[in-house]
Structure 1
Amino acid sequence: MKGYFRKRGDKWSFTIDLGRDANNKRKQKTQSGFKTKKEAQHACNKLINELMKGEYVEPSQKTVEEILLEFMTTHGKHAFRQKTYETHMYIIQKHIIPSLGHVKVPKLTPAMVQGFYLQKLQDENYSAEYVRTMHAVLRKAFNKAVKWQYINKSIIELVDPPRLEAKEIRTWTLEDATTFLEYVKGKRFYIVFLLAIYTGMRQGEILGLRWKDCHLKDGNISVTQTLSRTAKGLIFQEPKTRGSKRLISIPKHVTEELKQHKKEQNEQKILLGPAYEDYNLVACIETGKPIDARNLIRYYKRMIKESGVPDIRFHDLRHTHATIMLQLGEHPKVVSERLGHSKTNVTLDIYSHVVPDMQKSAADKFEQAMRSVNNNNIV
């Protein structure tokens, strides 16, 4: 197998003779657009090597749109959670297809994708985090296209997603958290706020928590499902990752509050009778149905204003739990397990703002220990 080289204008090309097909017609493979003969020779040798080893994949002439939609139909519809599927489809149809959908996959270059990201960041003012989500969608689809042998390699791997700026995490102090819980005690959604602050559970995990997952005698809670809003309405589903499915210990105070809440809920069931829809949920509206997160957030914002504590997001209650635990000297691995992070370093990366205080505390403790030994020796 041999290559033939030719210069056309200021570009070089090569042709490989592949023999003849079943109809005795000559088969050739040509590639062009190389700046120098050396570049063409290098590409030719690489292609010959792939052909000899049976590793060459003829690039598909499908467009980016066709690849993305086939990926979502064949893979995404069954592999992704409903909310994830809807988010991916929105990004594909709203952003990627209008800009890159018409391009045939072999013609797509890293520079084109990089330009697409730049347009979204600078011209349309989307956040780096959102553009990174677009990058993730493209990456998944093109990696799958490689497995399906539509392309030999994914050019998305050659594209740099925008760098994320470190986010400042806003949390409450112990005093803030106490003030807020004292204010909302006895009010609507109190149990939701209590669990968020005392366990670090995610909003969807709390709203999906069932009584059968609350082991009050043992003093712990199992996180086994989450409540999400999708285009189909509110749905229950398994936690996002294996690490999110976990067991969280709760203190006696939370156990007693849950018992009291269950008692009040049972009274409400008796009061409504058949009108009560029992989903076995810990947190629900008066009729037993799941709580719509939009209503929860509206009420939460109102309670913040009335109680006078700093305005933070509901998700920041989770950050508050983790930050306070680390400040109290709890081991990061324990905090990581409570939050459902896949690795301890994820926890440390997110809560790096707490680490300097932990370092100072550790240094002080070490100094005290050394002084104690010295004093004992002097005596």
Structure 2
Amino acid sequence: MSGDKFETFSLEIYETRNKSGVTKKCRAIFPYKDDDGKWRKKSVTLNSNPRGRGSASRLNAEAEEVRAQLNAEAKEASKACETVAEYFKKYVDARSLSVERSSANELRRILRTHIAPTIGKIELDELTPDDVQAWVTMLSKEYAPSTVKKCLTNLRSAMREAVDRDRLAKDPTRGVKNPKLPASKPNALDERGRAKVASFIALDPAKPLNIGFALALYMGLREGEICGLRWRCVDLDAKTLEIRETIGRDGSKWYVKEPKTGGSIRKLYIPDSLAEALRARHAHMGEENLGSGLTLDELFVVGDPAGGYMQPHYLSTRWRIAADALELIGTQGRRPTFHDLRHTFATAAIAHGVDIKTVSSFMGHANAAMTMNTYADADPDAKRRGAETVARAYQEEIARHVGDGEVLEFSRTGTDE
């Protein structure tokens, strides 16, 4: 299938009568589907003489030219009335070939829920920045700023592609700003909270859930990364692990996938206390796995002996129960989520002098600036400690250089008259 409206044709010879006698002519018949999906026929009389040597070739060549012209006219007519929703659907179909299926389905959800019923009805060529701004304003009355931002960002991407492909002369999203997102600070655990969680984990450190909690608290791993970690990516001798897979979600279905970005694929060092717990877990799974037919390397660290993985939502739900039982409160005054354990790791690392680049590599961030912007103010005492550290350094420098020369005291500054 070529995608053209008129794909095939047939030739039909017929006769016409007039005062001069009988004349033979040829017409080309082009079958096509109308907008309702019903088959129709379009007939065009050809100029070529159906008689004589080479007439068949001439007729076929002319019919092909007519077919090409009809398809060009049909495409122009289709473009003229193509709606925003129709173009966005084509954009999503093309994007789905290069993004995760969960991302592609999210784009389809945005089309179905936020674009098609509203701005999607406007013809693409008629869409203006005023239309887009009105759409953003309307969405902002009903949805969170993060949702509206996601919708506008993806519409903008589709419209810029339309400009790049000469489908539009100007980007209709130009000048339309994303809604301002409320500033959110990590709800990390303070020193007392960290001690509570560490003590709780230590009660049964090799338990699958506690291993999961520890991987977040001690190493900053995400839920999906913890659930997707297999033993083949853990080197207990070298005390390292590699993040190569994660558990993703597509609607109600979970699946194993590669991490979303290259920075998320990383090699990390395991602290001694966690390494001991992992060794005990490894030995226990080796005993449970006897006779299953699977190698231990294939199994997930916090999964089951049959090869299944723990679903991330189960891990976060069980953490919520533990957090309630421990009566934990984060630095923002809320009960910490599982993801806040990851925030806790980064905040504690920075508070104890780990450099930003190292913390960034642990977290799998795209760059150190992202880590700095997220966690620079996460520790409320950081500025106080920073000021005290610099002051102490100055005092130490003064002591070291106390005999270097005489310090003169001026009664007046150099700017006094």
Q: Is TM > 0.5 for Structure 1 vs Structure 2?
A: yes
Q: Does 1:369 align with 2:389?
A: no
- TM value normalised by structure 2: 0.71
Q: Residue 101 of structure 1: SS of its match in structure 2?
A: helix
Q: Residue 98 of structure 1: SS of its match in structure 2?
A: coil
Flag structure 2 segments of 5+ consecutive residues without an equivalent.
Answer: 1-78, 330-334, 404-417
2:163 aligns with 146
Flag structure 1 segments of 5+ consecutive residues without an equivalent.
Answer: 1-58
Q: Distance in 2 between matches of 1:212 and 1:104?
A: 53
- Structure with bigger helix share is 1
CA displacement at 1:232 relative to structure 2: 7.3
Q: Does 1:170 align with 2:194?
A: no
Q: Distance in 1 between matches of 2:363 and 2:279?
A: 23
2:349 aligns with 325
User: Runs of at least 4 residues of structure 1 off by over 6 A?
Assistant: 275-278
1:135 aligns with 152
**Aligned pair partner of 2:246 in 226, 230, 245:** 226
Identity value in percent: 26
1:104 aligns with 123
1:274 aligns with 292
Q: Kindly provide the CA deviation profile for residues 302-339 of structure 1, in whole angstroms up to 9, marking residues without a partner as x.
A: 11122222221111111111011111111111111111
**Aligned pair partner of 1:336 in 349, 355, 360:** 360
Deviates further, 191-200 or 361-370: 361-370
Q: Residue 164 of structure 1: SS of its match in structure 2?
A: coil
1:3 aligns with none
CA displacement at 1:277 relative to structure 2: 9.2
Residue 302 to residue 356, structure 1, CA distance change in 2 (3 Å): closer
CA displacement at 1:84 relative to structure 2: 0.9
Q: Distance in 1 between matches of 2:309 and 2:295?
A: 10
Deviates further, 290-299 or 63-72: 290-299
1:349 aligns with 373
1:87 aligns with 106
CA displacement at 1:61 relative to structure 2: 4.0
Q: Distance in 2 between matches of 1:147 and 1:370?
A: 58
The 8 Å contact of residues 323 and 351 in structure 1, kept in 2 or not, is answered as yes
Task: Report matched runs for 1:1-379 at 5 Å.
Answer: 61-73=81-93, 75-122=94-141, 124=142, 126-184=143-201, 185-186=203-204, 187-231=207-251, 233-270=253-290, 273-274=291-292, 279-285=298-304, 287-310=306-329, 311-354=335-378, 357-378=381-402
Aligned CA RMSD, in angstroms, stands at 2.2
Q: Distance in 1 between matches of 2:361 and 2:184?
A: 22
Aligned partner letter, 1:274: S
CA displacement at 1:214 relative to structure 2: 1.4
CA displacement at 1:76 relative to structure 2: 1.7
Q: Distance in 1 between matches of 2:251 and 2:394?
A: 62
- TM value normalised by structure 1: 0.78
Q: Distance in 1 between matches of 2:92 and 2:213?
A: 37
- Larger Rg over CA atoms: 2
CA displacement at 1:71 relative to structure 2: 0.6
